[in-house]
Structure 1
Amino acid sequence: MSTVQLSADLTARLAEAGLDPLAVAALASAAVAEDLDGGVDVTSVATVPDHARGYAEYTARAAGVVAGVPVAEAVLELVCGADLVVTRHVPDGAAVPPGTVLFGAEASTRALLTAERVSLNLLSRLSGVATLTRAWVDTIEGTGASVRDTRKTTPGLRALEKYAVRCGGGVNHRMSLSDAAMVKDNHVVAAGGVAAAFKAVRAAFPDVPVEVEVDHLEQIPPVLEAGADLILLDNMTPRQLREAVVLVAGRARLEASGGLTLESAREVAETGVDYLAVGALTHSAPILDIGVDLRA
């Protein structure tokens, strides 16, 4: 496996997508190292001549939304080295029908086959997240509400999965525990009440956005009075959500969470809340079926 850094072009494209090129390169390198486990691709070494050069096409076998093409390219660059030539056909965020060629890669045939599984694992996973996100986005279109992800992400893949949510048209919630506060039920218990928990966070971190979770309408007025930026309405019925919207009257943004499904999404969005929090975007998205085929 080549140890060269990512090309300047790919580095720029990853940065433009809001991804850290060094982090993507490190992830790709670790994933390939895991696949090789200190050895070589014994099947490809045994069956493919060392001098053989091939062209592989990455093709969507099902309809979906593409995400992760530059991430797959990072894997290919690290394995194939400087002689890799990529022909791009479809950008991230594009909706594609079955049979769409996403991109082609020309390099050493052995290297292409060694990189195949890892590049597909990442590309299929991220495209699956984008595809599911787009389904939610399409379902609530025109309501004024947005679909938002959570921190229920695959360890080590958070930045990539949240990128895939953006490719699908969704909105990112906080990226980490440090860039925004989320006062949930256990924090409330520890602090001695919803308003007390909010005030404690605001006092310790005055410049950090604060979201407070409530599960009863009577918890909203004291949270509003304390100055909450955003209120998470946990496991409330559409009727309760509508009441909360009237009660808040635009003084804070509202996020519906808990038990949401695609079937109920539009009814919830039409209550007037600003966001639907959907952990399933990242923790339950099926992969998008994508295949790699060598062409003569």
Structure 2
Amino acid sequence: MIDNRNPMYKDNGVCAMYLPQATQRLIELALAEDLDGGDLTSLATIPADLAAKAHVLVKDQGVLAGMEVAAAVCRLVDPALEWQPVLGDGAAVKYGTIVAYLSGPARSVLMAERTLLNFLQRLSGIASKTALYVAKIADTQAKLVDTRKTTPGWRALEKAAVRAGGGANHRFNLGDGVLIKDNHLALGGHDIVGAIQRARAVAPHTTKIEVEVEDLAGVQAALEAGADIIMLDNMSIEAMREAVHLIAGRALVEASGGITLERIRAVAETGVNLISCGAITHSATALDISLDIAINS
């Protein structure tokens, strides 16, 4: 068990074998944030040798995500904790769904409670919001993708939650691909053709070149320069439809900007291949999940 005064006092090494180091560090930071100074209430009121059982209960409708992270929180708080998942990431849940059971030393259960719930609630909220958007375009050719508008330090987890909700991932970081955006073009004299040519000259031959455009003239320039993906930024539905017709399959077409649940269906019906949406990560509402505890007999 970790030291009751500070969760980072001892490194029991039980988390690293399960999750990437970046995620392990995030969990450690979250535990340190919550347990710096220890759990004074539990130390004062709960006997050290008392055991407890608990279940993790959903109090809303949505899609589950973050179960492996919740398990890792328990392992890091105390290897004696036993996490028993009932469902996995991507499972549809509703009010009253039990998604996991947790048992072990009562103090440790309480020490893990808030951190594991914070991860589950946030990530399940993203998966749930993603699923709503995906359902709107399920019978079209368009695929919903996320953006880099993620919580600092949480990107890998939040993008995994998007996948759990049925979406797909765009770039993970700036080194993950070439995406020429408005600020790149502003600094380069708004020369779309030149920007694509310069990118093509230095990027690996396996790298696709994507460029953001705002009008049909930009679409034409991107086509002339041989862009692999053309992002239609904040265009009207009619303009997107015209752009798809102009591109005619010569490049993948991505719609971006102003993508709402009410509008996404109309965007998909223009014929675009991809729809990128920042709201599924930056504006997701946490799914209501609680941990209910009972003393072992």
Superposition TM-score, scaled by structure 2 size: 0.93
- Write the mapping of 1:80-91 to structure 2, written as runs, cut at 5 A: 80-81=78-79, 83-91=80-88
Distance in 2 between residues matched to 1:123 and 1:80, nearest whole Å: 19
Structure 1 position 36, deviation (Å): 1.7
Distance in 1 between residues matched to 2:230 and 2:255, nearest whole Å: 9
- Tell me which residue corresponds to 2:64: 66
Is the counterpart of residue 264 in structure 1 residue 263 in structure 2? yes
Is the counterpart of residue 177 in structure 1 residue 174 in structure 2? yes
Distance in 1 between residues matched to 2:14 and 2:130, nearest whole Å: 29
Distance in 2 between residues matched to 1:111 and 1:141, nearest whole Å: 43
- Tell me which residue corresponds to 2:203: 205
Deviation per CA, 1:210-234, whole angstroms, max 9, x where unpaired? 2100001111122112121111101
Higher normalized helix content (fraction of residues): 1
SS of residue in 2 equivalent to 1:262: coil
Distance in 1 between residues matched to 2:27 and 2:104, nearest whole Å: 18
- Write the mapping of 1:138-149 to structure 2, written as runs, cut at 5 A: 138-149=135-146
Supply the AA of the counterpart residue of 2:186. Answer: V
- Write the mapping of 1:200-239 to structure 2, written as runs, cut at 5 A: 200-207=198-205, 208-239=207-238
- Unaligned 5+ residue runs, structure 1? 15-19
State the superposition RMSD in angstroms: 1.3
* Contact 2:125 2:285 (C-alpha < 8 Å) held by counterparts: yes
- Unaligned 5+ residue runs, structure 2? 3-9
- Tell me which residue corresponds to 1:97: 94
Structure 1 position 84, deviation (Å): 1.9
Distance in 1 between residues matched to 2:288 and 2:14, nearest whole Å: 26
Structure 1 position 115, deviation (Å): 1.0
SS of residue in 1 equivalent to 2:174: coil
Corresponding residue pairs, total: 285
Superposition TM-score, scaled by structure 1 size: 0.93
Distance in 1 between residues matched to 2:148 and 2:209, nearest whole Å: 16
Closer, same or farther in 2 for the Cα pair 1:40/1:178, shift >3 Å? same
Bigger shift: residues 199-208 or 246-255: 199-208
* Contact 1:6 1:25 (C-alpha < 8 Å) held by counterparts: no
Is the counterpart of residue 5 in structure 1 residue 13 in structure 2? yes
Distance in 2 between residues matched to 1:118 and 1:61, nearest whole Å: 18
Structure 1 position 6, deviation (Å): 2.8
- Tell me which residue corresponds to 2:38: 40
Structure 1 position 260, deviation (Å): 1.4
Supply the AA of the counterpart residue of 1:276. Answer: I
- Write the mapping of 1:103-114 to structure 2, written as runs, cut at 5 A: 103-114=100-111
* Contact 1:255 1:274 (C-alpha < 8 Å) held by counterparts: yes
Distance in 1 between residues matched to 2:12 and 2:103, nearest whole Å: 17
